[in-house]
Copies of this chain bind each other. A is one copy, B any other.
């Protein structure tokens, strides 16, 4: 059969299926959050054990500078020591016992329980990270400072994207200079925009209680957040190389006390704040992420903790961070493998394009890094939506583009199911000796929506069809989709009465008028 004949018959078949209502049936989705990765293992078992041993050696022999007094006291009581340089050194046995006693799994709660994420084993989820200070303005395609309204708009955009499984505040509301106002309004904008699981940073220890109070007030009263923590803390308690940061450590103490899951990010940058050798970068970032694990588990053993080892790459021509190359891709895939070796809930970073706009560079940088992270079995792939400009910028159209790309990546993560049925020997025999094609076979009809992910923005037409439709690139189509969603999707994730109460009690800066289509931004 010629390609043209196949195409003609295919169209006829698709029309029949649509008439029968086959498409889009429930429970048939080819992809879902939490598919199992781990078929890509960048490191051999031997390499893995050497990196682990070297990380233990670093923690024991070199140790960590600048522990806070509270941490030092806990650590010394647990068997750590201060060396003659004043550094806190952890014996290997303490590190190993801490790994053994740490939380093996956790649920990241969402206000909509259907969107809860089970973080364990090799389950793969994609979500956002933070935090850009610039936004690519959809009106003129130029970068401008990010605002609170942007954050709210990004949240409600993500609310509609199936392959962005949680929402960490992706931009900083740069107009808010007061740190408490920033923290409260960031939490509010996230809550208002989406009922998926959230993530945010908290600037200072004293801001933790007010932020939790806001969550409690939004969620139904005191203690509501601790019962179902819908937001995790993003914190970087380590300043590489091998130094605790006092502010972040203090904030973590407070957050643990309030029952907030901790996502402790370690982001040593190869050749700048970590060794230029990729293996060495892993040794250091593993040691540092273990130092964060020790911190949290010394405060409260078994507290929900995400082992977020995000090894970063420097472009050594400039010293600047680069997120899009092959080195970044394998480093974070290896980080996922190492966390799986420890059987700890993992976070890595991928999708951090260096490109400033959604062009082909952004596409291959994002696909290479997110695919390797997912296939390696990272539990939480941060920064995988919306980010551009080596994390300095964020773009609306990138969110919907990344959502589509992540659908393909998730399909690859799902892999190939091998059963008597899918091996399809009888189907092959019938087609080969009968019709000579599979377009009408019952298996084809049944699997059409189960086995395949179809693009919504991606173009699969012929050059002629595409030219006739105006020859637009995918960025233009993505921007149209953004406008479509944001012009109509103003979800009510905070009930009006609750909203009034929040506005009475907290300095909410997001105008209520901007939270309806009357705002007229889109």
CA separation between A397 and B407, bound complex, in Å? 27
Contact A329 B408 (CB under 8 A): yes
Shortest distance from the beta carbon of A521 to any chain B beta carbon, whole Å: 22
Contact B283 A462 (CB under 8 A): no
Question: Taking the complex as formed, is A282 at the interface, i.e. its CB lies under 8 A from any CB of chain B?
Answer: yes
Contact A389 B318 (CB under 8 A): no
Picked from B57, B143, B366, B392, the residue with its CB within 8 Å of the CB of A467 is B143
Picked from B270, B326, B439, the residue with its CB within 8 Å of the CB of A408 is B326
Contact A453 B241 (CB under 8 A): no
Q: Knowing A280-B423, A356-B459, A459-B361 touch, does A314 contact B43 (C-beta < 8 A)?
A: no
Picked from B241, B356, B401, B443, the residue with its CB within 8 Å of the CB of A431 is B241
Picked from B65, B287, B423, B462, the residue with its CB within 8 Å of the CB of A54 is B423
Question: Taking the complex as formed, is A277 at the interface, i.e. its CB lies under 8 A from any CB of chain B?
Answer: yes
Shortest distance from the beta carbon of A449 to any chain B beta carbon, whole Å: 9
**Which chain B residues lie closer than 8 Å to A371 at the CB level?**
329, 367-368, 371-372
Q: Knowing A283-B425, A361-B474 touch, does A460 contact B354 (C-beta < 8 A)?
A: yes
Question: Taking the complex as formed, is A85 at the interface, i.e. its CB lies under 8 A from any CB of chain B?
Answer: yes
Interface-side segment among A115-123, A222-230, A409-417: A409-417
CA separation between A359 and B418, bound complex, in Å? 35
Shortest distance from the beta carbon of A88 to any chain B beta carbon, whole Å: 12
Picked from B85, B356, B417, B458, the residue with its CB within 8 Å of the CB of A355 is B458
Contact A368 B10 (CB under 8 A): no
Minimal Cβ-Cβ distance residue in B for A477 = B361
Question: Taking the complex as formed, is A306 at the interface, i.e. its CB lies under 8 A from any CB of chain B?
Answer: no
Contact mask for chain A residues 406-440; partner B; CB cutoff 8 A; 1 contact, 0 none? 01111110111111011111011101110011110
**Which chain B residues lie closer than 8 Å to A334 at the CB level?**
416
**Which chain B residues lie closer than 8 Å to A70 at the CB level?**
none
Minimal Cβ-Cβ distance residue in B for A46 = B418
Question: Taking the complex as formed, is A262 at the interface, i.e. its CB lies under 8 A from any CB of chain B?
Answer: no
Interface residues of A in 347-371 (CB under 8 A from B): 354-368, 371
Contact mask for chain A residues 271-312; partner B; CB cutoff 8 A; 1 contact, 0 none? 111111111101110010000000000000000000000000
**Which chain B residues lie closer than 8 Å to A42 at the CB level?**
39, 415-416
**Which chain B residues lie closer than 8 Å to A39 at the CB level?**
40-42
Interface residues of A in 316-330 (CB under 8 A from B): 316-322, 324-327, 329-330
Interface residues of A in 34-89 (CB under 8 A from B): 39-44, 46-47, 50-51, 54, 57-58, 61-62, 65, 85, 87
**Which chain B residues lie closer than 8 Å to A441 at the CB level?**
275-276
Question: Taking the complex as formed, is A217 at the interface, i.e. its CB lies under 8 A from any CB of chain B?
Answer: no
Contact A241 B452 (CB under 8 A): no
Contact B277 A458 (CB under 8 A): no
Contact A389 B462 (CB under 8 A): yes
**Which chain B residues lie closer than 8 Å to A314 at the CB level?**
6, 10
Interface centre among A1, A54, A408 (most CB of B within 10 A): A408
Question: Taking the complex as formed, is A447 at the interface, i.e. its CB lies under 8 A from any CB of chain B?
Answer: yes
Question: Taking the complex as formed, is A375 at the interface, i.e. its CB lies under 8 A from any CB of chain B?
Answer: yes
Contact A444 B316 (CB under 8 A): yes
Contact B409 A317 (CB under 8 A): no
Minimal Cβ-Cβ distance residue in B for A243 = B432
Question: Taking the complex as formed, is A522 at the interface, i.e. its CB lies under 8 A from any CB of chain B?
Answer: no
**Which chain B residues lie closer than 8 Å to A363 at the CB level?**
359-367
Question: Taking the complex as formed, is A25 at the interface, i.e. its CB lies under 8 A from any CB of chain B?
Answer: no
Q: Knowing A418-B47, A432-B241 touch, does A410 contact B326 (C-beta < 8 A)?
A: yes
Contact A422 B280 (CB under 8 A): yes
Question: Taking the complex as formed, is A186 at the interface, i.e. its CB lies under 8 A from any CB of chain B?
Answer: no
Taking Cβ atoms with an 8 Å cutoff, the residues of A that contact B are: 1, 3, 6-11, 13-14, 39-44, 46-47, 50-51, 54, 57-58, 61-62, 65, 85, 87, 134, 141-143, 241-243, 269-280, 282-284, 287, 313-322, 324-327, 329-331, 334, 354-368, 371-372, 375, 389-390, 392-393, 401, 405, 407-412, 414-419, 421-425, 427-429, 431-433, 436-439, 441, 443-444, 446-448, 451-455, 457-464, 466-467, 471, 473-475, 478
Give me the 10 closest cross-chain CB pairs, A-B, nearest first: A10-B319, A363-B363, A280-B424, A326-B411, A367-B367, A364-B367, A359-B473, A360-B363, A326-B408, A279-B422
